[in-house]
Chain A
Amino acid sequence: MTSTIVQALLNGIASGAVYGLIALGLSLQFGVMKIINFAHGSFMMIAMYLALWGCQHLGLHPLAVIPLVAAALYVTGFATQRWLIEPIYRKEATREPMGVLIFTTGLWIFLDNLFLAIAGPDYQTPPGEWTNEVWMAGDLFFAYPQIAGFVVACLVTLLLVMFLRGTRIGRMIRATGQDREAASVLGIDSSAVYQTSFAIGLAVLGVAGALLLALVPVDPFIGDLYGIRAFVIVVLGGIGSIGGAFWGGILIGVVESMGSQFLPITYSEALIFAIFLGVLYFRPAGLFGLEEA
């Protein structure tokens, strides 16, 4: 029994770190631009397919494709912000960016169906046995992708925090997020900042997608499942808070994994949303949403 509980706890932390990483990019975009990107899950699905094709056609290891996918998603993010979102955003600069919200919703449905046509409806995993390899510690079993997911997710989160705190561009991003007008008075080009932060957000999502591909098979609609979860985590952790997304992810992972050991599995999803609603009610800024307040 104890080993089951320990296993469940560690599994929860490992999957939670990846959930947090998926939510990170969303939180960054949300925090800086105040826009809701409903296509977030679809971009993750694209990252998973790019990783899959990298493994299939270039013969790369599931971990070796990560930098390629991150770079591809960076470019995708930059282009999406520069040529698709920014024109809409600019027209609505004086009011709530409703158009962007509707646009990303359309993009979500379009991308899902585009990949249904390109990749087909079948579930796919990268070739090779690495994704099924297991490390055993006594009674405890950890799949290599679980361990890799946890380590890489922690590393990337740490790097992003250091980047935002320690570099000039990072500080510009944070300044724009805190007060766009004050930042532009100080000579910060907000449109360039938006492009960079959207691109960085998607690059991080690219890393997360590649890690997730080793854990679960990809299909054109997988983004819907994880996209919703990412929103929950972002709000739970506090919008715009990088640390909040990370800890929010861990919390959701542990609740999902541990809750299932004591309750019927179908309740654990309800439990996640119950916690979500509770936090929204008692701490609308999120558990870690102090920086914004």
Chain B
Amino acid sequence: MSNNRSWIFSAALMAIAVSMPGAALAADPVKVGYLIPLSGSAAASIGQEMSRATHLAVKHINEAGGIKSMGGAQLQLVEVDTRGDPKVGITEAERLITVEKVPVLIGAFQSNVTFPATAVAEKYQVPWVVDLAAKADITERGFKYVFRPTQIPASGNADSVVDFVKWASEKTGKKAKTAAIVFENTDWGQDLAKTMRTRFKDAGIDIVFDESYPPNAPNLRPLIVKLKGAKPDIISVTSYTGDAIQLQKLIAQMHVDAMAVVGSAAGHVDRSFIPTVGVKGTDYTFTTAGWAGYQSAITTPFAKRFWDDYVADTKNEPTELSTSAYAVAWILKDALERAGKAEPAAIRDALAKTQMKDNDVTKLVGYDIAFDEKNQNNAKRYVVQQMVDGKYFTVWPENLAAKDQTMTWPVPAWGERK
């Protein structure tokens, strides 16, 4: 009986659709290819977090009437699990373009997948909006169809460390004169250290300690003993979680006093950093971060809806990862509105002309969106946060600083803390 009824209902719908060819054509959904790791690698949990946010953005866009310039066309995600495998990324990008006929792609979080897979999109001249992959060469190749609005190469992280130290020195009048660079001995660590070396020197800050260590080192106590002997004003630490925890614990235990310890995101913003080191051991520590957090960024109804719906959906609070994924869908939506048709070339041209300032999306991410000649958005900045009582507060840049919190600089000596 009910089958019968639903058959009649759909037949009626079809009749309406056929009788109004124009409307049916206008409402054709815009397919968006989405590559993201959902299983099979350590990045899968990150991929899932980002995927939830992307789906949420698409839902919000569609509920608000879809792409108005295309007669209210709905966005339709064609999601593919890359399993963190570059080969899967390449073949699936090709399939999405040639079989699914998607006019635009987004993803794929990991640099090693995004880098080769975006080359496929370039070959087929289909635009790709990169989310968080940080490898510099993704945009340095000068591809015409590959855009990166929400990430900058890793050296930007180091730039923010130095810019912050300069700013804090001037702002408080308590100038840092010497710095230590502690970093893990990997491509990533060396990249950041190299940028910091030249930038600190340019800022007139002497580097009195410059040491790398093998990642996942069993015992970093010797390094801390040596570091303490160097007596630096600033200690910059570029580490992943395990080493960041060990280093910070030892800095607290050995009473290594400096004007500031500044981490380079990564381990210092890992959810286990504060709980494992302890509130006392992390107090007043600074770190860069890719996103300014609730107090600074959730200031509009647009942002509040994202926050609330995301929390309701996942039981977790949004991070840089989910926020960037959410923003990428809205940046694409903005371009689609201006393109007016779901064709790769039109979408590419619209993306290239993106100019977002002071709107809901830029207030959420904390920076403007526009592309240079290599389709890189250079306005993306790492913010700097200070840990107080087990929580992160954004202190820099000033326009994103948490309102009800003042920065402590220089930080109190370990022996003088309660």
Contact = CB atoms under 8 A, between A and B. Distances in A.
Interface string B271-309: 110001010110000000000000000000000000000
Contacts of A274: none
Contact of A265 (B42, B211, B252): B211
Nearest to B223: A265
A136 to B, nearest CB: 8
Interface stretch (B123-131, B168-176, B212-220, B365-373): B212-220
Interface string A240-276: 0000000000000000111111001110110000000
Nearest to B224: A11
B44 to A, nearest CB: 12
A220 B216 CA distance: 12
A182 interface: no
Given A15-B219, A216-B246, A265-B212, A123 B276 contact: yes
A125 B212 contact: no
A132 B281 contact: yes
A117 B213 CA distance: 29
A123 B245 contact: yes
A221 B185 CA distance: 19
A225 B218 contact: yes
A40 interface: no
Contacts of A11: 221-222, 225
Given A122-B272, A125-B276, A269 B214 contact: yes
Contact of B222 (A121, A132, A143, A261): A261
Query: For A15, A141, A268, which residue has the most chain B Cβ atoms within 10 angstroms?
Result: A141
B226 interface: yes
A217 B246 contact: yes
Contacts of A221: 216
Contacts of A260: 222-223, 225-226
Contacts of B280: 129, 132
A151 interface: no
Contacts of A258: 222
Given A4-B228, A266-B214, A257 B222 contact: yes
Nearest to A124: B276
A256 B226 CA distance: 12
B276 A134 contact: no
B219 A256 contact: yes
Interface in B200-217: 211-214, 216-217
Interface string A107-143: 0000000000000011111000100101000000101
B222 A217 contact: no
A134 B214 contact: no
A271 to B, nearest CB: 11
A94 to B, nearest CB: 39
A103 interface: no
A4 B276 contact: no
Nearest to B281: A132
A259 B280 CA distance: 31
Contacts of B11: none
Contacts of B226: 4, 8, 260-261, 265
A119 to B, nearest CB: 12
A53 interface: no
B222 A264 contact: no
Contact of A124 (B222, B254, B271, B272): B272
Contact of A141 (B217, B229, B254, B281): B254
Interface string A1-40: 1001001100110010000000000000000000000000
Interface residues of A, number: 35
Given A132-B249, A216-B246, A266-B213, A8 B278 contact: no
B213 A229 contact: no
Contact of A225 (B216, B253, B271): B216
A21 to B, nearest CB: 14
B284 to A, nearest CB: 15
B245 A226 contact: no
A141 B242 contact: no
B394 interface: no
A187 B211 CA distance: 59
A26 to B, nearest CB: 16
Contacts of A259: 222
Nearest to A212: B218
A217 B213 contact: no
B218 A132 contact: no
Given A132-B249, A265-B213, A217 B255 contact: no
A229 B217 CA distance: 12
B221 A15 contact: yes
B241 interface: yes
Nearest to B246: A216
B183 to A, nearest CB: 11
A216 B213 contact: no
Contact of A257 (B212, B221, B253, B271): B221
Nearest to B277: A125
Interface in B251-268: 252-255
Nearest to B243: A123
Nearest to B229: A4
B275 to A, nearest CB: 8
A218 to B, nearest CB: 10
A221 B281 CA distance: 24
17 contacts: A4-B225, A8-B225, A8-B226, A11-B221, A12-B222, A122-B272, A122-B276, A123-B245, A129-B280, A141-B254, A216-B218, A216-B246, A217-B246, A226-B218, A257-B225, A260-B223, A260-B226
Interface of A: 1, 4, 7-8, 11-12, 15, 121-125, 129, 132, 134, 141, 143, 216-217, 219, 221, 225-226, 229, 256-261, 264-266, 268-269
Given A11-B222, A122-B271, 11 more contacts: A4-B226, A8-B226, A12-B222, A125-B276, A216-B219, A217-B246, A225-B217, A226-B218, A260-B226, A265-B211, A265-B217
